[in-house]
Amino acid sequence: MKETVTPGARIADVCVIGGGLVGMAIALGLQRNGLHVAVLDEGDVALRASRGNFGLVWVQGKGDTLPEYADITRLSARLWPTFAAAIEDYTGVDVQLQQRGGLYLCLTEQELEDRTRMLEKMREAAGGDYPYETMDLKQAREKIPEVGDTVAGATWCPEDGHVNPLLLLRAMTKRFKMQGGIIDNTGRVETIVPRPAGFRIRGRAGDWECARVVLCAGLGNRELAPQVGLSAPLLPNRGQVLVGERVRPFLNYPTGHVRQTGEGTLQIGDSKEDVGFDSGTTTKVMAKIAHRAIRLFPLLRDVKLVRAWGALRVMTQDGYPIYQSSTAYPGAHLVTCHSGVTLTAFHEGPLADSIASGLYDSSFEVFHAERFTL
């Protein structure tokens, strides 16, 4: 019997659920493949990890226990310059990409030794093709003269960089709309009903009908994935970020704990807290973040804080993404990760191309959620 479209339902080739950095990157890539795409987003009441992150395009140390993750991270870093240039040409929005390298500053010799050992193992796993350098304090100061006396040294990677994540989200959203994309941010997706010819997606403001659906809803994927025969065992992990006033440019390279934006403000962070869905801030953690930052850069002692926030990372048990297509309901795909900035160019490029072709490439099998049940 021929299936009919639900009366009043809106129609798209693909519905991408989630309008953050991950969802918009996937949506742009699907558009590039000639598909009519609708992004269904919860709106400003959502958790909004895309608006609370650190903005790093970070390579060093990513994938230390999974070479395939190191590979896609480095691939995305290589694709980033072309992606950033193309989106600026199209929208006029400069996302402030800088990829001159980055440093991870260590406060003790043991910390530096452990980090060097980890990166050396990654180099061995890559057959020698993994660029990094271990620096003592003097060498680190050649990159950033303001590094403090109590710093033992740093690891350096020439592939690291950073962007302005708010401008990135704005640019991707603008380009998506300019290319005819639809963003429906009238409320949370309530149910996904698989049908023989695709999917019916029900929300508070009405239904959508689509041949394919891509779940990019961050922590919301936990409830959505089982509806299409997938699993998203995700955990929230809070990070708190301090923002300092504008100061003279001194951080020519981002670091793992402090970065300076294009406007001169400072972002300070890297806390990791298992506190459920509490996205607030605490004096204890903020003090700890500030104390470390001052040890790294003593000049920060006199910098005024202008605001602070907490945001929830989208984490799996092992910290790596879940990329998977549903075998029970073909046409449904899951994309979830906590490195939405770093992996933006990979998501818009190779990953979106794979989804558009109908099924993830076999090389993505290492990222299936079944790894958590083996």
* Same structural domain, 225 and 346: yes
Residues 6+ apart with CB under 8 A from 340: 20, 21, 22, 25, 49, 50, 53, 314, 347
Residue-level pLDDT at 6: 56
**Distance (Å, rounded) from C-alpha 173 to C-alpha 182?**
10
Are 266 and 129 contained in the same domain?
no
Nearest CA to 32 out of 149, 165, 179 is that of 179
Residues 297 and 368 in one domain: no
Residue 332 lies in a domain: yes
* Cα 353–Cα 359–Cα 365 angle in degrees, nearest 5: 100
Tens of pLDDT, residue by residue over 49-62, are 556 688 999 999 99
| The pLDDT of residue 90 is above 90 | yes
- Domain membership of residue 20 (yes or no) is yes
Residues 307 and 200 in one domain: no
Domain identity same for 111 and 255: no
Any domain includes 2: no
- The sign one gets for the Cα dihedral 85, 86, 89, 92 is negative
For 82, the token pair is 């072309």
Which has the minimum average pLDDT: 6-10, 131-135, 153-157? 6-10
pLDDT of residue 270: 82
CATH number at residue 187: 3.50.50.60
**Residue 367: closest CA among 332, 328, 334, 329:** 334
Instruction: Check whether 46 has a pLDDT greater than 60.
Output: no
Check whether residue 325 and residue 305 sit in a common domain: no
CATH number at residue 309: 3.30.9.10
229 and 323 belong to one structural domain = yes
Please say whether the dihedral angle defined by the alpha carbons of residues 143, 110, 317 and 269, taken in this order, is positive or negative.
negative
Judge if 228 and 208 occupy the same domain: yes
C-alpha Rg value of the chain to the nearest Å:
21
Q: Report the SS3 class of residue 167.
A: helix
Residue 72 lies inside a defined structural domain of this protein: no
177 with 28, same domain: the answer is yes
Q: Is residue 42 part of a domain?
A: yes
The predicted pLDDT at position 211 comes to: 97
Q: Would you state the pLDDT for residue 49?
A: 59
Which domain-ending residue is among 141, 158, 175? 158
> Rounded to 5, what percent of the chain is helix, strand, coil?
35, 25, 40
The pLDDT of residue 44 is above 90 = no
Q: Which residue range(s) make up the domain with 290?
A: 235-315
Per the domain annotation, does 124 fall within a domain? yes
Q: How many CB atoms lie within 10 A of CB 206?
A: 14
Domain boundary among 111, 126, 158: 158
As beta bridge partners, residue 324 has: 334
337 and 310 assigned to the same domain: no
Residue 117: is it exposed, middle or buried by C-beta count within 10 angstroms (0-12/13-18/19+)? Answer: exposed
Biggest CA pair distance of the chain: 76
Q: Hey, what amino acid is at 13?
A: D
CA 54 to chain centre: 10
Q: pLDDT by residue (tens digit) across 115-136?
A: 999 999 999 999 999 999 999 9
Q: What is the dihedral of CA 300, 305, 310, 315, to 10 degrees?
A: -20
Condensed to tens digits (0 to 9), the pLDDT of residues 93-116 reads: 999 999 999 999 999 999 999 999
Which domain-ending residue is among 315, 341, 361?
315
* Number of domains composing the chain: 3
Q: Give the pLDDT confidence of 180-233 residue by residue, as tens digits.
A: 999 999 888 999 999 988 999 998 878 999 999 999 999 999 999 999 999 999
What pLDDT sits at residue 291? 96
Residue 14 has pLDDT above 90, yes or no: yes
Q: Given this model, what pLDDT does residue 205 score?
A: 77
Q: What is the pLDDT of residue 53?
A: 82
With cut-offs at 50, 70 and 90, classify the pLDDT of residue 362: confident
Specify whether 214 is located in the same domain as 351: yes
259 found inside a domain: yes
pLDDT of residue 3: 43
What pTM value is reported for the model?
0.95
CB 102 within 8 Å of CB 95:
no
Residue 4 lies in a domain: no
* CA–CA gap between residue 303 and residue 167 (Å, rounded): 25
Residue 1 has pLDDT above 50, yes or no: no
